[in-house]
Structure formats: C-alpha cells, structure tokens
Structure 1
Amino acid sequence: MKKFMAIFAALVMAIILAACDEDSNVTLNSETDAQIGKKAAVEAKTPITKRITIAHVIDFDGVKIPLTTTYAIDKSLANNWRFTYQSMVDLKLGVASLPDNLQLVVNNVYANVSLVSTKMSTNGVRQDSLNQNYSTLPQGGVSINAASDYEIPFQVEGINQNETSMTVINGYGSANTSRVTESDLRGRGVQGGKLNVVWTLLVKAGDRHFVKTVTDRIGLPYAAKE
C-alpha cells in the first residue's frame, strides 16, 4: 500500500509540473543551423534580422567625427524578446569619415541585457553580459575606418543559465530552484529587456592616444501580454 501511495504521489506531482510547464516554442530545426548525421555539408544560413542604427558624434580637438552604432536581433524576437531563450545580438560600430591625420581604434566593448520591470525585485536583473577587451593588441585595439566597420556577435544566454539571476528572481535563501518562465517574469512586472552598450575608443594622433566613449541603451520589448 505504501509503495502504491508513493507511486501515486509521484504521478500526481509529475502531472502538476507538466500542467505548470510552459511551451518553449522552439524545435531542434529552429535552434540550429545544421545537424550532424543528416547531411555531410550544408550552406550557412543568413539570419533575417531587425536592426536599429543610431548616429553619434565625438568631438576631438574641434573635429567632429561621425559614428554609427547598429544593433540587430533575430526578426522573430522583435517586439517579442525572450529571456529564457539563448539568442544573438549583433553589435556594430562604424565611422562615416575620418581625417587623414587621425586613427580610430576600438579598445573595448561592454554590453549587457537586463530586465526592465515595474517591480523592484526583478528590475535590473541581468540576463547576460559581454566584455571584449583589446588592450593587449600592439596598437591597443582594432582599427576602423570609413571602409571597414567593427562588428561582434553577442551570444546572450537564457536567464536560466545564469545562476545568480535565478537566485535573485527566486529569492535569496529560497529552496526554490525551479527554472524561470516567461509567464513568471510577466507576472512580476517585466516589460522587456534593455541592451546597455559601452564602446571605449582610442583616437590616435601620431604617438598620442586619447580615450572617447560612446554609450547606448536599447529597448527589447515583450510582445503584447499573452
């Protein structure tokens, strides 16, 4: 009888968990470019993206240097950001024109995606971050000019892959180790994500180096409430 009750309790718990689970809406085909064992060779896919470009100007000794920053995400995530997904944000920096006596170098790029929420308990919780530093390169970074932009993919991990963020959301000291769902986040006031980016640039004039920074804060909205 005890064995039967234990099996019954386990079955009930499994049913409850299944009922509370949230569909991921992803498949192996949607999440991969190719699958080992199906074909020996395939052509790389070009993702369909939505992007935004922002114009910036930095001032150096009275010279205006026009820059553009561009951020792109998969089209399916536009106005439909997902914190539980592993996704890609493309970061690009370009310069429209540069005087012959100056060089522009990308020294560091820092980016993070965090939650924007009406509730203090979830607002600002970080989904993932990127910090790419080029200080050890001979010229202190990667050169860009009007013909050559700088571009880097930021692979954003799902929030459940960030143990610290899970702890913050579930509560410090809590025994709850359940994976966070989009419904959980919506229920706690989350409106979408914020992509924060800081570009650290070196303007080189002869043997002199000067530091300039460019910053952006980009919204990654949720879809209308489900």
Structure 2
Amino acid sequence: MSGDMLQIFSEFLGTMMLVLLGDGVCAAVNLKKSKAEASGWVVIALGWGAAVTIAVYVAGSMGPAHLNPAVTLGMAIIGNFDWALVLPFIIAQVLGGILGAVLVWLTYLPHFKETKDQASILGTFATGPAIRNTVGNIMSEVIGTFVLVFALMMFGKNTFTDGLNPLVVGVLILSIGLSLGGSTGYAINPARDLGPRIAHQLLPIANKGNSDWGYSWIPVVAPMIGGAIAALLYIVIT
C-alpha cells in the first residue's frame, strides 16, 4: 500500500474506531436495559475522551490521525497538510463514521427493540441541540471546534513524552464535552455526525424516527468554520 493510501486508510480505520467507541457510550447510556442506562453526561464525555485517545493511537502509527474534516481543513490552511489529500481524507473519515455506527447498531441490536424513544435512538448516532436555535447552535459548534483545532495546533508547539500526545488529545475532548457540549452535544466533527446520521437513515433500526436532516447541516458546516478560524488565528500569532 502506498504512503498516501495508507494514510487515507488510517483515517477510515481511526474514524471507525472513534465512532464505534464514542457512539457506543451514547448507546450504553441512551438505550433501554443497557447496564449503563441513564448513567449521564459525565459518562458520555469520559467515553468520548477515551474513544478519541484510542482512535488516535490506532491511526497515529499510519498517518496524522486527524479523524475529523475540520482538523484536516485547518491543517491544510496552515500548510501542515497536502491540499490534494483533503477530499480523500474527508471521504475516508465519513465512510469510517458510517461503519463505526453500523457496528454500534450490531453491538446493541436487542436494545433498540426495547427503546421506544426515537430521540434517544437518534442520539445514539448523531448530535442534536438541547434548545433548537439556529444561531445559537451554530455558535456552539463553531466555538467548540475552534477550541479543538486551535488547541491541537498549539500542542504541536509543545514537547510531549513519546506516546503521550493521544492522551492529551483525549483530555481536550473530555474538557470540551464537559464545558461546551451541553448545548448541541458537541459534534465538533462533521464525519462523527454525518457518517452515523447516514447509517441511522439507512439501517433497519427498530423504533427509529427520522434522521433530522433539517438540523444535520449545522454539525457539518459549523465545525468547518471553527476549524478555519482556528487556523487563521494560528497563522496570525505564529
């Protein structure tokens, strides 16, 4: 496998792992008769932080482990990534998100039959706002993604003990989730939201409702804006 193809595959594999473990904790908390049912937001935030850490370890030996189109865009803007690979990376990330969501569905298959709340089922796959307000929801995702991408860029200015970086990234995700995630569920990653939402649309999930495509553009567009703003600020200050 060529170097570029290996990197693209690493984004697919890493994003699959990210969504499998991240949406997996959402399933554990949201679905009926799960042993973790109703264990709350802190468990979800911890689960997502751990998911990102594991996914970065998985993908990082083969590529840059962006696992997020907003990160890929930001790194390209500051000149740390080849523009020719931006679209292939994003496609791989979305496809990885779809597969990860399919694996979550298979893991919790009998629990979907026990869960009647359509919002809880969709929330296992994709994000949604606590209060539906277009401007507020966009701002929440822009700010959360700005923090993510800008912090990742600044991490590059620091020296970490070999192998520690993924743990620091996991702490960053945990911090964003606990501090900024209560408004929209902190997608902060178009592939993390769009891939599983596509899976929700296509899979024969018991008791599912609609996939809320009316909201779906926000966790795709707003993180890309946040990532671009982070990159521009990074260029200005460095």
If the TM-score is normalised by the length of the shorter chain, which range does it land in? under 0.3
Relative contact order (alpha carbons < 8 A, sep ≥ 6): 1 or 2 greater?
A: 2
> Larger Rg: 1 or 2?
1
Larger fraction in helix: 2
Q: Would you tell me which structure has more strand in proportion to its own residues?
A: 1
TM-score by length of structure 2 reads 0.27
